[in-house]
Every structure is written in C-alpha cells, then in structure tokens.
C-alpha cells in the first residue's frame, strides 16, 4: 500500500512538473511572439530613411526595389499561412505581416513615383506577376488541400522559399558595396533590424516547433549578420559625401 501511494504521489509530481513546463513554454512563446512583433514592426519601419532620401532627392538613384517587392510577396504569403483556414492559432503571424503588406505597398508606391520609366515598368511587371502567383496559390491550396496539415505544408514550403528570398534580396546591394567600397546604398538600420528579426522569430519558431517559420528566419539571421560584417568593413571607406547623404 505504501509503495502504491508513493507511486501515485510520484505520478502526481511528474504531472505537476509537466504542466509547469508546458505553462513555461506557453509563457515563453507569448513573450517571444510579442518581442518578434515589435522587432518586425521595426523591420518594416527601417526603410523609412531610404524612402525619405528618395523623396527629398526626387529620384531612386541606385536604390533597388527588389527588397520591397520580395518583402511584399513574403508578407502576403505569411498572412495566408496564418489564417485559420490554413494554420490555426497563428494570430501573431497574421497581424504583423498584414502591417508589413501595408508598409511595403506604401514604399513601392513612393519608389514607383520617383523611378525612371524603364524601372517603373519593371516594378509593375514584377508586382503583377506576384499578385497573379498569390491568387493562384490561394486557389490551388483552398480547392485541392482539404486539411490544415496539407494546407500548412504547401503554404509553409512557399513561405520558406520566399522568406529566404526576402532576406537574401539585399545580396545585390552587398555586391555593390564590395565593388564601390561604400555602404551608402545599404542602410545600417535595415541590416540590424533584419538580423534581430531573424533571431526573434527563430526563437518563437523553436518554442512552437514550427519548422516553416524557423528555416527562413535562421537564414535571415545569417544574412543580416553578413550585412553587418560588411557594413563594419566598408563603413570607414565610404566617401564623406556618401556618408552625409545617408544621414539625410
């Protein structure tokens, strides 16, 4: 009888420990989601100095629209991924990426306004292709995949691919930095916040055991770190006039 009671007590203790561990994970997940949303909001705000510079100069100069186009597509796909029809209980993913869609639409509008005609046509073509792709994905997923697991798998894989593309989009600017030995067209805030965003969302993904969120954000942390290293190397070799332009 004593042994049985001890076993029951031990079982109860283990249940209590497990419940406590689960509660800690849930609390950590909530905190991580909150931090990740704040950092992501900062990521979406970080291009503002560049956009203000474009507005002041009335020209896009050598700034590239690719990061904004890649981020727009990535945000729309993540909003779709987080909808209850696809992946239930992912509200933090939906809210912050919906905000991202709004910001990137605004940035693209300003970029379009001050671009030369040839670049405008390029932006419009890419944007229309992205919108057509998004509509096709939604139609295929909602009509052919009839479970949350299958829908999450299909959209999740696409999010991994295009999320990685979003984080890798500044690579073309990194090439320009190396060639010109100037960081004028690679904003420091965008690189820093991109790195922090990757780290925070990777932590959130680990707590949720969500590989689709983890993979692109791990890559984002790596690319962001590479950009920061490049910035540290070439910051001092940036011509003085470029530095003053960047601060404008």
Q: What is the pLDDT of residue 193?
A: 83
Q: Are 138 and 155 in contact (CB under 8 A)?
A: no
For residues 116-155, b (16+ Cβ closer than 10 Å) or e, as one string?
A: eeeebeebeebbeebeeebeebbeebeeebeeeeebbbbb
Q: What is the pLDDT of residues 97-123, one digit of tens each?
A: 999 999 999 999 999 999 999 999 999
Report residue 22's pLDDT band, with 50, 70 and 90 as the boundaries. Answer: very low
**How confident is the model at residue 19, as a pLDDT?**
43
**Under the phi-then-psi rule, with left for phi > 0, alpha for psi from -120 to 50, and beta for the rest, what region is 186?**
beta
- Predicted local confidence at residue 107, as pLDDT: 94
What per-residue confidence (pLDDT) applies to 174? Answer: 81
In the predicted model, what is the mean pLDDT of residues 51-59?
A: 90
pLDDT digits 0-9 by tens, 211-248:
888 888 898 899 889 889 888 888 887 776 544 444 43
The rounded distance, in Å, linking the Cα atoms of 24 and 147 is: 30
Q: Which two tokens stand for residue 176?
A: 């320009």
Q: Which residue has the tokens 């994905």?
A: 137
Query: Model-level pTM?
Result: 0.70
Pick the residue with more confidence: 28 or 183? 183
């Amino acid at each position: 009888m004593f042994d049985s009671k001890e076993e029951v007590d031990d079982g109860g203790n283990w249940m209590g420990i497990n419940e406590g561990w689960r509660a800690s994970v849930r609390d950590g997940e909530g905190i991580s989601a909150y931090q990740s949303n704040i950092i992501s909001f900062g990521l979406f705000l970080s291009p503002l100095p560049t956009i203000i510079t474009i507005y002041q100069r009335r020209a896009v100069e050598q700034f590239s629209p690719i990061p904004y186009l890649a981020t727009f597509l990535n945000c729309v796909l993540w909003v779709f991924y987080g909808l209850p029809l696809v992946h239930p209980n992912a509200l933090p993913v939906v809210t912050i990426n919906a905000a991202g869609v709004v910001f990137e639409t605004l940035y693209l509008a300003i970029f379009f306004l001050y671009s030369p005609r040839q670049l405008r046509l390029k932006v419009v073509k890419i944007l229309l292709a992205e919108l057509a792709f998004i509509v096709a994905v939604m139609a295929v997923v909602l009509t052919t995949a009839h479970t949350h697991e299958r829908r999450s798998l299909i959209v999740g894989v696409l999010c991994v691919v295009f999320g990685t593309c979003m984080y890798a989009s500044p690579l073309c600017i990194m090439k320009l930095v190396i060639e010109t030995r100037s960081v004028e067209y690679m904003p420091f805030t965008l690189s820093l916040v991109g790195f922090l965003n990757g780290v925070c969302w990777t932590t959130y993904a680990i707590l949720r055991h969500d590989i689709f969120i983890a993979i692109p954000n791990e890559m984002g942390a790596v690319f962001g770190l590479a950009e920061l290293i490049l910035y540290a190397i070439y910051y001092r070799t940036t011509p003085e006039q470029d530095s003053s332009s960047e601060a404008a």
